[in-house]
Chain A
Amino acid sequence: MYRIYFKQAIQMLRQNSFISIISILGTALAIMMIMTIIVTEEVKTFRMAPEINRDRSLYIMYHVERDTTDGGWFSGLVPHDIVKEYLSALKTPAYTSFMNRLDDLNMQTTVNVEGLSDYGLYAARYVDASFWKVFSFGFIEGSGFSEEEFQSGIHHAVLSESTAKELFKGEKALGRNIQIAFTNYRVTGIVKDVSPVFKYAGGDIWIPYTSRKEGLRAGYVLLMATDKADFPRIIAEIRDVERKYAIDHHPKTLYLRGPENQKMRTMDLQANSEQEIREAIRIKNRRTVFVFLILLIIPALNLSGFSLSRIRKRIAEIGVRKAFGAKKYVILIQVLYENMITSLVGGLIGLILSYVAITWLKNWLLKVPEGSDIPLSAMLSPAVFAAVFVACLLLNLLSAGLSALKASRMTIVNSLNQNDR
């Protein structure tokens, strides 16, 4: 029976080619938008070297210190003192890493080869020893530094491949001396280039922050769990830290935002307390629902207009079917089934279009570095297909439901006489 429905649906699509194209196009556009959003979200949390532990990382990017006596407060990156006194003692995380923020033009540092006065500006990442455990760098030569070397404030530097090439004009860089902010360092490692879109790992040069006179006053904290399941315990531990801080520094209180997982990070939430972050998440979710509704309802409105007019043309046919013994639900199913074909064809085209769109827009949309590809598995996952199917189904129900119901309810005589009043 469905084969015949299929044949008829295809025949009808061909007979009303204009409307068919418009319907399919409308569906395709809607699916494209929805898919682009979903895949974008997927890819943002996808593990990509060097940030390969995104799925088991938590981030603290921001803290608020309040004075409960006069209501004054101070906020910003996480201060070194808090990391040293409290966070480095955390028990649950496998590693706790502390690094500087590096997403600003002004944060570049002078670098020159020792003995040459000609210096260039590079993005320098000040890190600790755990940094090399949390991220996976492609070392071409040499290595990072150990915990002992870090503690001793050793003047060792790791360069990216292109930085090394630029500084030494293609000569061998490993073991050579350079000056970073006019201080001497020795090159002990060369790594493959890391794009600046990696907010925590990216840079041109990596040095132990203990090697700097001023150390690292404030920065990002990354907590890497042994397993994702440890997240609640880590978060509980952070809350304990806040309580402990409040006792130690009475009347001051501390709020460490998050710790946020990769998914929350991509939302760019801004909040100064736990309450605010919950509210911010609620607003984000509300907006997501709102956007999806708009993306579904507007095309559904159009498509239901089309399917209503199409049904009007076919009222007599439905009368005939009923006269020959079709039950109401059979008619209902047939109309939905026919629309489903349009929706699925549109859905498929939309899916393909969304991949085109994502590839095209990957720089501003996904912050995927130039040259590195979006992992195919993120785009072809069963979850994505399930989402397309559900979106098609919803779109179909929204658009054809009304006309299907109307068609199945009409009395046979009225249908045969094409009288839909």
Chain B
Amino acid sequence: MIRHILKIIWNERKLNAWLVMEYVITFCVLWFCCDYLYTMLRSYYGPQGYDINHVYMINMGEKPSEKELEDSDKYGFAMTFMERVKRYPDIENVAFAMASVPYGGTMWVGGFRINSDSVYIGLRQRHVSTEFFDVFKMKVDGQIFDWTDYADKDNVVISASGDNQFGGSNRDGSVWVPVPEVHTLHHGDEGETNPHKVTGRTEVIRDPYFEPAMSNVILPLRREDVSLVGDDKGNQIVVRVKPEADKDFAERFTRDMREQLFLGPYYLSSVASIEGMRTENDSLWGVKDRINSTYAVVLFLVVNIFLGILGSFRFRTQSRRSEIALRIALGASRRKVQAMVVAETLCLLAVATIAGTVVCLHLGDPETLRSLGIPTVDKVEWGIGREQYAINFILTVSFLALVSIVAVWHPARQASTTQPADALHDE
């Protein structure tokens, strides 16, 4: 039977070559779509190193006044603020930070030296109170500093870039050190004072979706930097809300706490969920548009491929009505004839699959894509390995097989259930 099928395929090789070509091209397109969607969605929805669910940012405002506040006053107001907010029943924890909150809009990159290295490289620095780790549920391997304890002032927590490497680049090049080997860090701005001692490590923190993660240095927030409003320094206040209290939290909190939070010149300005800030941020930078247009293009291609395969194979089978009829007239069972037509199609698909896989494994060059302005994701960075190929392969092949079988089987059934004489007469 198989030999017979192969013979039929060979005899019709000219038409079949066209079909195989169509298969190979659609295979490659589908493969690419799978690959692209998978990496993109994985980097969009994948773990980011922090949990923003039930986290809100509280923005305070400052009434215009003639005299500047002293640092100690600022600290005092901040402590009162923390105390009052913590007492609010919906709140799990409160943290102060500088340029640290994801989607907060501010970001600091400072020059650091790693261990005894003499080269300064850029690292993302975050200054936070100890509660910050708790608010964002960041898992730390090692010890977290106590920001109120002077003895801990030089202790830091670090997070790696992808691939468990810590480091960064400057104008002349880059330095990378495996995370466990990073022990001390010198901050360029602080001159050659005491080095920062690495006491803990947290998971990779990913701020931008489609670009490689930066290495982070998380430092204790200094007392003199604490402020409830943060125009210049990027001061931020975040709270974690009890999950059951998340509904309408912003509204309720604003209503209940407004009076209590008139602290000196400060007043409660707004409460925003980090989730909402993420959405805002996405639309501002066109992230959602990008994902939506990718969906649109992929959907378009898939529908087209669906129509193409459906049409080609259905047509091919329809034009063989008389052949099918003849086979039945010569004594083949209907089921056998249908099985033969389907098997023949799958044979063609198998040939195309081999060719397509070879092409795809050699063609997926991210450089080409980048030169076309299509955002790509560094797969190694995201720990996407060979299993991706398997996923692409399985999805692509099963889609093509399914569509082909549907396309072929229906007319084959039709042809095999009509009277052979009628079908023969068609020619």
Residues of A at under 8 Å CB distance from B? 18-19, 22-23, 25-26, 29-30, 33, 71, 103-106, 108, 110, 119, 121, 181-183, 213, 268, 280, 283-284, 286-287, 290-291, 294-295, 298-299, 301-302, 305-306, 308-310, 312-313, 364-365, 420-421
- By beta carbon, the residue of chain A nearest B301 is A298
> Are A313 and B319 touching (Cβ within 8 A)?
yes
> Are B308 and A305 touching (Cβ within 8 A)?
yes
> Are B171 and A105 touching (Cβ within 8 A)?
no
CB B234 to nearest CB in A, in angstroms, measures: 11
- By beta carbon, the residue of chain A nearest B29 is A298
Question: Which chain A residues lie closer than 8 Å to B311 at the CB level?
Answer: 18-19, 22-23, 26, 302, 305-306
List 13 additional contacts besides A29-B300, A181-B61; criterion CB under 8 Å. A25-B307, A26-B308, A71-B171, A105-B277, A108-B270, A182-B63, A286-B371, A286-B372, A286-B373, A294-B301, A299-B308, A302-B22, A365-B292
Which of the segments B133-141, B211-219, B282-290, B344-352 contacts the partner chain? B282-290
Q: How large is the interface on B (under 10, 10 to 19, 20 to 34, 35 or more residues)?
A: 35 or more
Contacting residues of chain B (271-303) with chain A, CB-CB under 8 angstroms: 272, 276-277, 280, 284, 286, 288-289, 292, 296-297, 300-301, 303
> Are A18 and B29 touching (Cβ within 8 A)?
no
> Are A22 and B64 touching (Cβ within 8 A)?
no
Q: Is B314 an interface residue (CB 8 A)?
A: yes
Question: Which chain B residues lie closer than 8 Å to A313 at the CB level?
Answer: 319
> Are A33 and B300 touching (Cβ within 8 A)?
yes
Distance of A110 Cα from B267 Cα, bound (Å): 10
Distance of A103 Cα from B283 Cα, bound (Å): 10
- A283-B371, A295-B300 known; A22-B310 Cβ under 8 A: yes
> Are B297 and A106 touching (Cβ within 8 A)?
no
The 8 Å CB contact of A181, one of B64, B276, B305, B374, is: B64
**Proximity string of chain B (59-81) to chain A, C-beta cutoff 8 Å, 1 when within and 0 when not:** 10101100000000000000000
- A105-B277, A108-B270, A364-B292 known; A302-B307 Cβ under 8 A: yes
> Are B312 and A291 touching (Cβ within 8 A)?
no
- By beta carbon, the residue of chain B nearest A22 is B311
The 8 Å CB contact of B372, one of A22, A287, A309, is: A287
- By beta carbon, the residue of chain A nearest B272 is A105
Question: Which chain B residues lie closer than 8 Å to A294 at the CB level?
Answer: 297, 301
> Are B372 and A290 touching (Cβ within 8 A)?
yes
- A294-B297, A294-B301, A305-B18 known; A104-B280 Cβ under 8 A: yes
Question: Which chain A residues lie closer than 8 Å to B297 at the CB level?
Answer: 33, 291, 294-295
The 8 Å CB contact of B319, one of A284, A309, A364, A421, is: A309
- By beta carbon, the residue of chain A nearest B267 is A110
Question: Which chain B residues lie closer than 8 Å to A284 at the CB level?
Answer: 373
- Top 4 closest A-B pairs, CB basis? A302-B308, A283-B373, A22-B311, A287-B373
Question: Which chain B residues lie closer than 8 Å to A26 at the CB level?
Answer: 304, 307-308, 311
Question: Which chain B residues lie closer than 8 Å to A298 at the CB level?
Answer: 29, 301, 304-305, 308
Residues of A contacting B: mostly? helix
> Are A364 and B288 touching (Cβ within 8 A)?
yes
Distance of A182 Cα from B280 Cα, bound (Å): 27
> Are B304 and A29 touching (Cβ within 8 A)?
yes
Distance of A6 Cα from B53 Cα, bound (Å): 62
Question: Which chain A residues lie closer than 8 Å to B292 at the CB level?
Answer: 364-365
Distance of A103 Cα from B277 Cα, bound (Å): 11
CB A22 to nearest CB in B, in angstroms, measures: 4
The 8 Å CB contact of B18, one of A22, A23, A308, is: A308
Question: Which chain B residues lie closer than 8 Å to A306 at the CB level?
Answer: 311-312, 315
Distance of A108 Cα from B330 Cα, bound (Å): 82
Question: Which chain A residues lie closer than 8 Å to B19 at the CB level?
Answer: 305
User: What are 22 residue pairs bridging A and B, where the CB atoms are less than 8 Å apart in the complex?
Assistant: A22-B307, A26-B304, A29-B300, A30-B304, A104-B105, A105-B277, A110-B267, A121-B270, A181-B64, A182-B64, A268-B286, A280-B373, A286-B372, A287-B373, A294-B301, A299-B308, A302-B305, A305-B308, A309-B315, A309-B319, A365-B289, A421-B14
Q: Is B269 an interface residue (CB 8 A)?
A: yes
Output the residue of A18, A25, A305, A313 with the most chain B CB within 10 A: A305
Question: Which chain B residues lie closer than 8 Å to A364 at the CB level?
Answer: 288-289, 292
Question: Which chain B residues lie closer than 8 Å to A22 at the CB level?
Answer: 307, 310-311
Question: Which chain A residues lie closer than 8 Å to B14 at the CB level?
Answer: 420-421
Question: Which chain A residues lie closer than 8 Å to B288 at the CB level?
Answer: 364
CB A137 to nearest CB in B, in angstroms, measures: 24
Distance of A213 Cα from B63 Cα, bound (Å): 11
> Are B284 and A104 touching (Cβ within 8 A)?
yes
Q: Is B316 an interface residue (CB 8 A)?
A: yes
**Proximity string of chain B (319-352) to chain A, C-beta cutoff 8 Å, 1 when within and 0 when not:** 1000000000000000000000000000000000
Distance of A18 Cα from B316 Cα, bound (Å): 12
CB A183 to nearest CB in B, in angstroms, measures: 6
CB A38 to nearest CB in B, in angstroms, measures: 14
